[in-house]
Amino acid sequence: MEQTVGKPERSQQAKIDPITLSVVRGILETTQREMTLSLEKTARSSVFNLAHDYSTALFNATPEMILQGQDIPIHLGSLIPAMKVIADYFGDDIHEGDLILHNDPAYGGSHAIDTCMYKPVFYEGKLVYWTVCKGHLTDIGGPVPAGYNPEAKEIYAECLRIPPVKIWDRGKPRHDVLNMILTNMRARRDQEGDFNALIGACQVGERNLIRMLEKYGAEQVDACVDELLAMAERQMRSLIRTVPDGTYEGTAVLEDAGHGFGDFDITAKVTIEDDSCHIEISSPPQIPYFINSYEGNSYSGVYLGLMMFAQLPPPYNEGLYRCVSVNMGPKGTLCNAQEPAPHMNCTTTPMETLTDAVRLAFEKAMPSKVAASWGHANGLNIAGWDTRHDEEYVTMVLATIISGAGATPQQDGWHACGPECCFGALTSGDVELLEHSYPIIIHRYSLMTDSGGAGLYRGGSGTAWEVEPLDSDMTFIMFGEGRRLPALGAAGAGSQMTDTKVGRLELKRDGKVETIRDNTIGVIKPGETVTNMNPGGGGYGDPMQRPVDKVLADVKLGLVSLEGARRDYGVVIEDAGSLRVDLDATRKLRAA
């Protein structure tokens, strides 16, 4: 099953006014940003409005993605196949005023809680564009609040599946369909508000695009859009041309986070030939646990690995992938799952391991260009009763998955801007806004000492988030991994002190602390807390080569402990008060 996304096309030689080209590009980018802003400002769910766990994109009538927003990478790759499935499904039954809703992974979706809204844009009676957005709702029905059900053996036990369905038909809302969907979801008021926000964002996009067509005319705009696609294609091709021809293989290990099936290998084989690139994925058979990835989602993982490596400047659109072909492996495998595989955790697990495998293959091809792995997502969903408003609350807490970024050949990794699958696009949300939205007390949100991977350049620190329910019981639901295997370093980096580099959950109850490393569902009461800790990023290069003064500076800032300095970097510091380095002992330890 091989697929090349989009078809290669030579740049149109029609004369394009360079200023208009710039203007069109600017309008497309602004349109997408305004859609994003509109979602952020209007949504009810904190996953949208505080955490930016949504994405928007524009497609032409083909439909090719003509603008990939710089939002969540994991959402955007999968929108490319999903949009094509939607257009195929309705064929010529697409009309002005239609709005299509969809979340199902078997129809090109990522995970079902990421709900997509598609609005066909018509101009002078003709379908010209699609404005599309995708956002992580707070709930999607099913037995467990917030959708993540580690007990699910099948997708049917996870969520309400929504295949492509029209919620507006030629401008007329289908209240019966919407009501059926909302009836199946918790916290209905929030979900209803979020559907409005998704629709609003699509309309904001439509408004701008129509204005652009009215001003510049469809013909001129089309020529510009084609040129923008061709520009992205040329950029990617010339980058790939710099990578030596050959086949490179990367294998990353996906840890067993409590399902009992053991660790798995995911392998990416990257073949470079002149200016094109073929990526072949192999993964084990799918399992009855929520970490299977359907094909659409796996595209995101592969494209992210490629984009992390490529570091190309905009424009970002489907042209980037014209010279990239991907084979996701046989149906029924972990990275090319089929019904009835449960999947809810897939946007982080196994997606980030898949991204690592692609990254590792590129590391072999060009070790001087690649960055270390970022911390993987390992986080919490919370749910309970909000006595302040006498209503149910449920949400994913994205503050809990903000991990450390990987180091690069030039600098230390950024603190607190992961996880890998989001590449810095998420935000944690302000502590006051979170406490305003949910009946919780956040006791701690901080960087964690010794969490960044050791290296000549250190990985960024991960974060710890400690929560107590305000006045009634709270359910916490753990998801993700990265609690046993630290983020991968690059170019010979590695840590001796690994227990602080990985994620974990600490439950404080009756003066005792329990550490949990498997995906678990639990309940805590006021007076009890859980602290979710997530991993730091991987380091780059040999930690014994890291200059002593840099290690000392990290110690002074509390990012590395005295023990960490000694074990990870071979730097012996006499005591915390004086911070004097024992140079003799350091030399000996580093030489050993």
Partner 1 sequence: MNSKYRLGIDAGGTFTDFVLAERAGGSRLYKALSTPSDPTLAIRNGLGLIAEDLGVDLEEIIPNCDLCINGTTVGLNALIQHKGARTGLICTAGHEDSIEIRNGHKEDGYRYDAEYPPAVMLVPRNLRKGVRERVLSNGTIRTPINEEDVRAACRAFIEEGIESVAISFVWSVLQPEHERRAAEIVREMMPDVPLTLGSDLYPQVREYTRTSTAITNAYLAPILKRYVTAVDAYFRSLGATSPVRYFQSNGGLAIGQLMADRSVYAINSGPASAPKAGLHVCAPFEDQNVITVDMGGTSFDITLTHEGVTNLNKNIDFLRYRIGVPMIQVETLGAGGGSIGWIDDMGLLQMGPQSAGSDPGPACYGRGGTEPTTTDVNLVLGYLCPGGLVGGRLPLDRAKAEEAIRSRIAEPLNISLEKAAYGMFTIVNANMVNGIRRVSIERGYDPRDFVLVCAGGATGAHISAIAREMGISRIIVPKLASGLCAFGQIISDVKYNHMATCPVRLDNDEAYARVNGLFRQLEEDGTRQLRQDGFTDENIRITRSLEMRYLGQVHECTVEVDSFDITAETVERLKDAFHRRHEQLYTYAEPASTVEVVNIESTLYGVVGKPDDAVLSKGGDSDGALKGTRMAIFSSSGEFTRTPVYDGTRLGAGDHITGPAIIEETTTTIVVEPGWAAELHESGSYVLQRQHQG
Q: Which of residues 425-444 bind partner 1 (CB under 8 A)?
A: 425-433, 435-437, 441-444
Q: Which is nearer to partner 1, 83 or 371 (CB)?
A: 371
Tell me the number of residues near partner 1 by CB under 8 A.
83
Please tell me the distance from the alpha carbon of residue 279 to that of residue 247, in angstroms, as a whole number.
Answer: 9
Of 334 and 372, the one with the shorter C-beta distance to partner 1 is 372
Q: Residue from 86, 162, 213, 307 that binds partner 1 (CB under 8 A)?
A: 307
Tell me the C-alpha distance between 391 and 377, whole Å. 29
Nearest approach, Cβ of residue 155 and partner 1 (Å): 29
Shortest gap between Cβ of 193 and partner 1 (angstroms)?
6
- How far is it, in rounded angstroms, from Cα 309 to Cα 533? 27
Proportion of the chain in helix, strand, coil states, percent, rounded to 5: 35, 25, 45
Residue 70 in contact with residue 49, Cβ under 8 Å?
no
> Quick check: 70 binds partner 1 (CB under 8 A)?
yes
Q: Which of 520, 473, 250 is nearest to 373 (CA)?
A: 250
- Interface with partner 1 includes 214 (CB under 8 A)? no
Q: Is 49 in the site for partner 1 (CB under 8 A)?
A: yes
H helix or E strand, kind and range, residue 134? strand 126-136
Give the residue with the Cβ less far from partner 1, 381 or 463.
Answer: 463
Is 424 near partner 1 (CB under 8 A)?
yes
Is 445 a binding residue for partner 1 by CB under 8 A? The answer is yes
Q: Which residue number, 197 or 573, has a Cβ lying nearer to partner 1?
A: 197
Q: From the list 99, 146, 416, 552, which residue makes contact with partner 1 (rule: CB under 8 A)?
A: 416
Is 38 among the residues that bind partner 1 (CB under 8 A)? yes
Q: For the CB of residue 149, give the shortest distance to partner 1 in the complex, in Å.
A: 25
Residue in 271, 265, 237, 361 with CA at minimum distance from that of residue 309:
361
Instruction: Candidates 103-111, 250-258, 275-283, 556-564: pick the segment binding partner 1 (CB under 8 A).
Output: 556-564
Binding flags for partner 1, 364-403, as an x/- string (CB under 8 A): -------x----------------x---------xx--x-
- Cα separation, 20 vs 17, whole angstroms: 5
From candidates 50, 80, 128, 224, binder to partner 1 by CB under 8 A: 50
Choose, by CB under 8 A, the member of 179, 238, 387, 411 that binds partner 1.
Answer: 411
In single-letter form, the type of residue at position 24 comes to: V
Q: Which of 452, 431, 438, 413 is nearest to 559 (CA)?
A: 452
**Least distance (Å) between residue 369 CB and partner 1:** 10
Q: In 3D, which of 535, 479, 527, 533 has the Cα closest to residue 502?
A: 535
Label residue 511 left, alpha or beta by phi (over 0 means left) and psi (-120 to 50 means alpha).
Answer: left
Rounded distance between C-alpha atoms, residue 590 and residue 592, angstroms? 5
Using CB under 8 A as the binding rule, the residues of this chain from 86 to 145 that contact partner 1 are none
Cα 217 vs. chain centroid, distance in angstroms? 36
Spatial strand order of the sheet with 264-273 comes to 3-4, 324-327, 276-282, 264-273, 246-254
200 is a site residue for partner 1 (CB under 8 A): yes
Q: Is residue 133 packed enough to be buried (19+ CB in 10 Å), middle (13-18) or exposed (0-12)?
A: buried
Work out the angle at residue 301's Cα, subtended by the Cα atoms of residues 299 and 305, and round it to the nearest 5 degrees: 115
Q: List the 378-386 sheet strands across, edge first.
A: 391-397, 378-386, 474-480, 521-524
- Residues within window 463-522 making contact with partner 1, judged by CB under 8 A: 463, 466, 470
Q: Which is nearer to partner 1, 155 or 456 (CB)?
A: 456
Choice between 87 and 434, CB closer to partner 1: 434
* Residues forming beta bridges with residue 172, ordered by sequence position: 169
Stretch that binds partner 1, among 15-23, 267-275, 290-298, 483-491 (CB under 8 A): 15-23
* 410 lines the binding site for partner 1 (CB under 8 A): yes
Q: Which helix (H) or strand (E) holds 530?
A: strand 529-533
Question: In this chain, which stretch among 17-25, 329-337, 359-367, 486-494 interacts with partner 1, using CB under 8 A?
Answer: 17-25
Q: Is 559 in the site for partner 1 (CB under 8 A)?
A: yes
Q: Does 322 bind partner 1 (CB under 8 A)?
A: no
What minimum distance in Å lies between the beta carbon of 430 and partner 1?
5
What residues between 278 and 297 interact with partner 1 by CB under 8 A? Answer: none
Among 207, 508, 550, 590, binds partner 1 (CB under 8 A): 207
C-beta of 234: minimal distance to partner 1 in Å?
Answer: 18
Residues 160-189 touching partner 1, rule: CB under 8 A, are: 189
Q: Does 311 bind partner 1 (CB under 8 A)?
A: yes
How distant, in Å, are the alpha carbons of 39, 52, 417 from that of 47? 11, 7, 16
